[in-house]
Amino acid sequence: MAHIKKRWDLLCWLLVAPALGTRIFCTLYPILRTVYDSLFQINKIRRINRFNGIGNYIQMLQDTNLLDTIQFTAIFTIASIALHTLLGVGLALLLNAQFRGRKVLRSVVLIPWATPLVVAGIAATWAFNDMYGFVNDLIRRVLPSFSCDWLVGLATARWAVILVDVWKDTPFYAIMILAGLQSIPADLYEAALADGSGPVSSFFRITLPNIAPLMCTMTVFFSLWRLTQFDLVYAMTQGGPGTSTSLLSYRTYIEAFKNLNFGYASAISVVLCLFMVVVAAAGFRAKKHLDFET
């Protein structure tokens, strides 16, 4: 019996080996290597490669550009997630409603999800153009003298980036929440209806408590994706004006492939991973709390 069990285990290991091996080679090994590299001063132009201890991390504390980048990464994540939650839950309710044309709506919401982020970003560069972009063109139909060069101003550029991100990913968030809505048993609503509770009160008493754990999980996932966002800023603003829309991933890229400071870039990306761990830990602790309550 033990012999058969051992052979069975061996077979399973063999079957998972290609997938697991690829993941270990292409993701786990490099991440450990990045942590190791972050302790070195590596510059490809000047051909430097020497041990630097925590020197890169100390340098980060004095790098005001980087602190700005961390600040915008936080603003971007929080603002975008707040809008995702608000609009996403609303859209999920709409997707769940029974009406003719639901099939069309469900196809349409997949379009932003499937649109390459670089395409959305590069189109947004032109869409937010003061003179010829469609955003200002639509605003001018209501306010004829309106003028705003979105991507040139600091605050407006930040808002534009956040808006494009929300356009692109809120439908995806809504689809995730829709899955949760569909798993709520219908008799809960029927019971509430019999008790005479209206749609608003049944939303707060039944719907919200039932999807809260899923919302919590999705908030964690979507926050992690926001923290590592790269394509949008690369295509849309290139971190500008100045470095005001630069995100941590983008700064890492610039440091590594433009300034060729591989050691410092590694250190920045390690800090990014630490932020992600903190967000994930906080989120899953909150979810445990919610699971316990419901």
Partner 1 sequence: MKRHPIKTLGVWFLAAVTVAVIVFPVWWIVLSSITPKDQLFQTPIHYFPVHPTLENYRGLLEKVNLSSLIRDTAVVTFFAMSLSLLICLLAAYGFSHARSKGIKAAYALLIGSTFLPMISTILPMFELFSWLKLCDTYFVLILLYTNNFIPFTSLILVSFMNQLPASLEEAARVDGAGAMTVIFRILLPVMKPAVTTMAIINFILCINEFITPLIFTTSKVSMLSVGITMIPRLNQYQVPWDNISALATIMLVPIVLFVCLFEKNIMSGLMAGSIKQ
Contacts of 281 by beta carbon, 8 Å cutoff, 6+ apart: none
Is 91 near partner 1 (CB under 8 A)?
yes
Q: Other C-beta atoms within 10 Å of 198: how many? A: 9
41, 56 contact by CB (below 8 A): yes
Of 115 and 201, CB closest to partner 1: 115
Is 86 near partner 1 (CB under 8 A)?
no
What is the nearest approach in angstroms of partner 1 to the Cβ of residue 165?
13
Please pick, from the candidates 58, 78, 86, 116, the single residue that binds partner 1 as defined by CB under 8 A. Answer: 116
Please pick, from the candidates 54, 67, 110, 154, the single residue that binds partner 1 as defined by CB under 8 A. Answer: 110
C-alpha 212/C-alpha 106 separation (Å) is 23
DSSP-derived 3-state class of residue 150: coil
DSSP-derived 3-state class of residue 50: strand
Nearest-10 crossing angle of helices 154-182, 64-96: 40
Binding-site string for partner 1 from residue 4 to residue 43, where x marks contact by CB under 8 A and - marks none = -x--xx-xxxxxx-xxx-xx--xxxxxx-xx--x------
Please pick, from the candidates 172, 219, 222, 233, the single residue that binds partner 1 as defined by CB under 8 A. Answer: 172
What is the nearest approach in angstroms of partner 1 to the Cβ of residue 18?
4
Interactions with partner 1, residue window 137-156 (CB under 8 A) = 137, 140-141, 149, 151-152
Burial of 77 from C-beta contacts in 10 A (0-12 / 13-18 / 19+): buried
Is 63 near partner 1 (CB under 8 A)?
no
What is the nearest approach in angstroms of partner 1 to the Cβ of residue 65?
17
Interactions with partner 1, residue window 260-289 (CB under 8 A) = 262, 265-266, 269-270, 272-273, 276, 280
Q: Which stretch binds partner 1 (CB under 8 A): 46-54, 58-66, 77-85, 175-183?
A: 175-183
Interactions with partner 1, residue window 195-254 (CB under 8 A) = 214, 217-218, 221, 224, 227-228, 230-231, 234-235, 237-238, 240, 248-249, 252-253
C-alpha 225/C-alpha 81 separation (Å) is 10
Please pick, from the candidates 79, 117, 160, 192, the single residue that binds partner 1 as defined by CB under 8 A. Answer: 117
Is the four-CA dihedral 38, 44, 50, 54 of positive or negative sign? negative
CA-closest candidate to residue 59, choices 275, 263, 277, 273: 263
